[in-house]
Amino acid sequence: MGNRWRWLRSLIIIAVAAVVFWLRTTTGEVNVYEARALAVMGQDSKEGREILQELAEGRKIGVYHLQAEGDIAPAAGTEKIIGVTVSKDRGLLGIFSTAGSQQVMLACLNTLPLQEVKVIQLEAGRNAILIRELLDERFGGYFLSSFYALYSWQGEGLQEIWRKVAGNEERWHKKWLDQGEGWQGVSEQVTTDFTREEGRLVIKTISSQSLWSAPEATGPRTKIQSRTVTHTYRWEPAWGAMVMAVGRVNKTTSLKERRGSKYVDMLNLAAGEEVAVLEDEDLLSWLKAEEPSYWRVKTGGGQVGYVLKSHLDLLPGRV
């Protein structure tokens, strides 16, 4: 019964993912983070936690996994971080206390297949976990992406404080969009540099993006448009995140969340409220000029969402 349920659940997730991919391509939406969230949906299982526990205790021999150690949690001593890829679409990350003779799991995260796990210093006395994941999805089209994600211990568990595409390749047939024959796609390659300024972590990225067309899926490509974008993210303990800038809301506006191809209102932000800018969400508006451009932001209350760029004034020298 257990195997049958896992098989059925996999089919359901694949079917839903195919629908989401179709919606994204037909609407021109390009957001690989949605696909990542869908891929890890419903992954948590007792079996996965048992695998991590056995690896932490050295009882799982011959299983390839990634491991790092560092002071992550508030508890005394260092923690052991173990990442394992359990299938083409699934990974797990476990954090274990090494104090005493027991390997106690402090946290477990569902991930995509893992390519890298390491501990990185945010500032003196505070560390974070950096992972790189791979998303490989093919639904008749093509979708291959890798991501960085950075987690720090906040409150009672791990919280994501930064995320970034490391590379993304998508392609789809034009006839799916009623645009004739041939193929079209988006390519993005990102160079990432982890450095330090004034004792705090700074991440600098250079992203090369292009929209292309081709007669065949793997045929010679013709660039339709391309650009290079640079961004800098700084660890800001006051915001609990890697921050690009600080902005002030210039009129009452909505903090939005993404649901499929739509931005849906979450709550209202008052004019004059300050927010931390986490990411520039302008790829879609660059590909389609008629689409609005957003900042991904974090409020003083900790909510993360999207704000129209025109409704936010960036404050010079404020990060």
At 245-280, the pLDDT tens digits run: 999 999 999 999 987 667 889 999 999 999 999 999
Range 70-78 average pLDDT: 89
Taking residue 24's Cβ as centre, other Cβ atoms within 10 Å add up to 21
Taken in order 258, 29, 34, 294, the sign of the CA dihedral is: negative
Report how far apart, in Å, the C-alpha atoms of 25 and of each of 21, 59, 135, 290, 305 are.
6, 45, 17, 16, 23
Contact 264, 277 (CB under 8 A): no
Taken in order 37, 41, 44, 45, the sign of the CA dihedral is: negative
In SS3 terms, 223-242 reads as EEEEEEEEEEEEEECCCCEE
Q: Residue 258: enclosing H or E segment and its boundaries? A: strand 253-259
Provide the residue type at 110 as one letter: N
Write down the mean pLDDT value for the chain: 85
| 274-281 sheet: strands from edge to edge | 262-269, 253-259, 304-308, 294-298, 274-281, 245-249, 312-314
pTM: 0.86
Compute the chain's Rg from CA coordinates.
21
Range 112-120 average pLDDT: 95
Range 158-164 average pLDDT: 95
Assign 21 a pLDDT band (cuts: 50, 70, 90).
very low
Break the chain down into helix, strand, coil percent, rounded to 5. Answer: 20, 55, 30
Q: Could you identify the residue written with the tokens 């957003």?
A: 294
- DSSP-assigned states of every residue in 170-202: EEEEGGGGTS-SSEEEEEEEEEEEEEEETTEEE
The pLDDT value recorded for residue 144 is 87
Report how far apart, in Å, the C-alpha atoms of 87 and of each of 92, 164, 197 are.
10, 23, 39
Structure tokens at 183: 């193929």
Residue 73 has pLDDT above 90, yes or no: yes
Residue 9 has pLDDT above 50, yes or no: no
| Residue from 97, 77, 89 nearest 134 by CA | 89
